[in-house]
Chains A and B, each alone.
Chain A
Amino acid sequence: MSGPGRQGREGVLQLDRPSTRVWRERVVEGLLFLCGVISILTTVGIVVVLVGESVAFFREVPALEFLTGTEWEPLIGNSYGVLPLVNGTMMIAVLSSVVALPVGLATAIYLSEYASDRVRDVVKPALEVLAGIPTVVYGYFALTFITPLLRDVFPGIGVFNAVSASIVVGIMIVPMVSSLSEDAISAVPRSLRQAAYGVGATKFEVSTRVVVPAAFSGVVSSFILAVSRAIGETVAVYLAAGVTARVTADPTQSIQTITSYIVQASLGDASHGTTAYQSIFAVGLLLFVITLGINLLSDVVRQRFREVYE
C-alpha cells in the first residue's frame, strides 16, 4: 500500500512523487492523532452523559436530599437518599481491604525478599491467573462455596451477605496489591539492604524497617488503587451481597452497593426519561467522582512521597 517505492517494469526503483509522500504522511499522522483523541472523547463522553442525565435527576430530587437521605427506595417508594448505597460500598471496600492489603503486601515481601526463583516462577503466574478470572466467576464462587461455608460455621449469616462478597472481592484484588507493591519493593536499591545487613540487622528487620518504608509511596498507592477497584466491583458484589439498600454496620446481612444498584436498575424496566432511569446516572456520577478522586489521590501519594535513589 505504502511501500518505500515500486519496482518499475525495467526493475528500476520508482519513488512516489514527493508531493504524494508529503500528502500521505500528513493524512497518516492525522488519522493516528484521531485514534489518540478517542480516549479524550471517551472521558468527555462519560462526563457529559453522567452530568447531563444527573442534571435532570437533580431537578426532581434535591441534591441535598440525595446526599444526606438514608432511604433508598427508587423503584417503589420514590425516595432517593444515597447513604445506604454509600454505606454498602464502603463496607465492601473496608472489609475486602482487611483481606487483601495484608495478604497482598506479605505476598509482595515474600516474593521480593525471600522467594527462590522456583517459587516465584510458580506464584507469579498463579497470581496472574487469579487476576484474570472474570468477576462473575468470583460471584458464583461466593454464592455457592463461601456463603454455604460461612453459614455452616455461623448459622446467623444471610444467604446474601457482605462478608462473603468482601472475601471474594478481597481475593480478587490481592494480585493487584501484590504486583504493584512488589514493583515498588524491588525498586528499592540493593545498597540500602546491604547497609542494613552490614550493621547487623536480620532479614526481618531489613524488610520491615528499611525496604518497606523505602517503598512506602508505591505500597500505599497500590493499596489505594486496590480500594478503588473494590469500590467499582459490580457483579460479584451483586451476586453475593444481594440488593437490600440499608444503612447498617452489620456485614452478615444483605446490603447494596452503588454498583449493584446500577445493575439492578438496568435489569428492571426503568424506562427512558423516568426518575428511576436517571438515578442510574446520578449514582454513576457519584461512583465516577469517588473512584476518580481516589485514583488521583494514589497519583499524588506516589509523586509526593516518592524516595528518589540514584
Chain B
Amino acid sequence: MSSTAVAGETGAMGSGGGGLEAQEDFEPRREARRRLGTAFKWLCFSAVVFGIVALVVLLADVFIDGYRWVDWSFLTSYPSRFPEQAGIRAALLGTLWMMGLVALISFPLGVGAAIYLEEYAPSNWFTRTLQMNISNLAAVPSVVYGILGLAVFVRFMALGQSVLAGALTLSLLILPVTIIAAQEAIRAVPGSLRQASYGIGATKWQTIRHQVLPVALPGILTGTILSLSRAIGETAPVLLVGAVTFIAFDPEGPLDQFTVLPIQIFNWAARPEEQFHAVAAGAILVLLVILLAMNATAIYLRNRYRQEL
C-alpha cells in the first residue's frame, strides 16, 4: 500500500499519472527531468550574473566617463558655466556638513529610541503601535520626507533653505533604520550581563550605561554608519528642502544655504550638454569613494564585533 502511494506521488510529479494502474506505466523520465533541472539551475545562475554584470557595467560606465575629471582643482573649485572649470568644492563641503549634522541629530535620537523600546517599553498596545509605526516609516518614500521638511523645517520653523533644515529632514528619514539596527544590537547583548549588573546593586540606567551600551556599541555604530551613508546619497528630499544647485561659497554655519554632492550630480546630469555629464561622472566617483569608505568602516566594525562574541 505504501509503495502505491509513493508511485502515485512520483507519478503526479513526473508524468501526471496516478493510482494503481499508473504503477505499470510509471515513467520516471529521469533524463528529461535531469535536463530540466540543469536548465533551471543555469537560468537562476544567469539571474545572478545579470545583477553582477549590471553592477560592473554601471561602475565601469561612471569610471570611464569621469576619472579624467577628478583632480585637485576639481575638488577645490566652485561650479562653473564652463565644464573644464567646474568643481565640487561647495558640494563636498555641504555633504560633510550634512554628514556631521545628521550624525549629531540622528545618533542620540535613534539610540535613545532603541534603548527605550528594548529596555524600558512595557508590552502594551502603545509599544506595539510605536514599533509598527517605525517599520512603516522605514517604507515611506524619501520624497515624502522632503515634503515634510519643506513644510515643517523650511517654512514653519523658518530655518529657510539651510543645511540644518536639510539635516533635520534626512535625520527623520534615516531614524527608523537607525532605530531598528540599534535595537538589534541591543537585543544581542546577553541577559546574563544585565542580571549580573543588577545583582551587584546597579540601577537600570547604570546597567544600560555601563554594561549594555558598551557591548552593543560596535553593532550600533555599524547600523548608524550604514544609515548615514544612505542619507549622504539621498537627492529627492534635499531637493525639496531647497538645496541650491549653484553655490559659489563655502557653507560656514548650519543656517547657510548649501548644496550636496547628489544635488550637484543631479544638476549636471540633467543638463543637455554632454560635457557636463562627464563632470557629473567625476562627482559620482567622489561620492562613491565617500560611501565606500563609510561602508568599509561599518564592515570593519561588524567583523571585529563578530570575533568578540
Interface residues of A (CB under 8 A from B): 2-4, 21, 24-25, 28-29, 31-40, 42-43, 45-46, 49-50, 53, 102-107, 109-111, 114-115, 119, 122-123, 126-127, 129-130, 132-141, 143-145, 171, 174-175, 178, 199-205, 207-209, 225, 228-229, 231-235, 238-239, 259, 262-263, 266-267, 272, 280-281, 284, 287-288, 291-292, 295-296
Contacts and interface: CB of A to CB of B under 8 A. Distances in A.
B137 interface: yes
A219 to B, nearest CB: 14
B10 A199 contact: yes
Nearest to B132: A299
A200 B26 CA distance: 13
6 contacts: A36-B113, A40-B130, A43-B137, A45-B148, A140-B269, A288-B140
A127 B51 contact: yes
B281 interface: yes
A284 B44 CA distance: 38
Contact of B277 (A3, A107, A144, A287): A144
B120 A49 contact: no
Contacts of A199: 6, 9-10, 13
The 4 tightest CB contacts between A and B, nearest first, are A232-B141, A35-B112, A134-B233, A106-B47
Given A202-B37, A287-B141, A291-B140, A266 B209 contact: no
B54 A46 contact: no
B136 interface: yes
Given A28-B205, A136-B265, 15 more contacts: A2-B205, A3-B206, A35-B108, A35-B109, A35-B115, A39-B133, A46-B145, A126-B55, A199-B13, A233-B141, A235-B266, A262-B143, A280-B147, A295-B136, A295-B139
Interface in B161-206: 172, 175-176, 179, 201-206
Contact of A130 (B54, B142, B148, B232): B54
B152 A140 contact: no
A253 to B, nearest CB: 18
Nearest to B30: A202
Given A28-B205, A36-B112, A171-B54, A134 B140 contact: no
A58 to B, nearest CB: 16
Contact of B144 (A38, A122, A229, A284): A284
B52 interface: yes
Contacts of A29: 116, 120, 204-205
A107 B40 contact: no
B128 interface: no
Contacts of A115: 48
Contacts of A201: 13
Given A40-B130, A53-B151, A178 B175 contact: no
Nearest to A21: B203
Interface string B43-76: 1111110111011011001100100000000000
Interface residues of B, number: 93
B306 interface: no
Contact of A134 (B50, B240, B287): B287
B134 to A, nearest CB: 5
B47 A259 contact: no
Provide the main secondary structure of the chain A interface. helix
Interface in B73-120: 108-113, 115-117, 120
A262 B237 CA distance: 10
B41 A114 contact: yes
Select the residue from B10, B239, B269 with max chain A CB neighbours within 10 A: B269
A140 B113 contact: no
A136 B235 contact: yes
B309 interface: no
Contact of B58 (A28, A38, A141, A231): A141
B210 interface: yes
Given A35-B116, A132-B295, A140-B284, A49 B51 contact: no
Contacts of A138: 58
B281 A42 contact: no
Nearest to A31: B112
B33 interface: yes
Select the residue from A29, A103, A137, A295 with max chain B CB neighbours within 10 A: A137
Nearest to A130: B55
A123 B49 CA distance: 9
B233 A46 contact: no
Contacts of A2: 205-206, 209
B121 interface: yes
Contacts of A32: 112-113, 115-116, 120
B250 interface: no
A194 B115 CA distance: 42
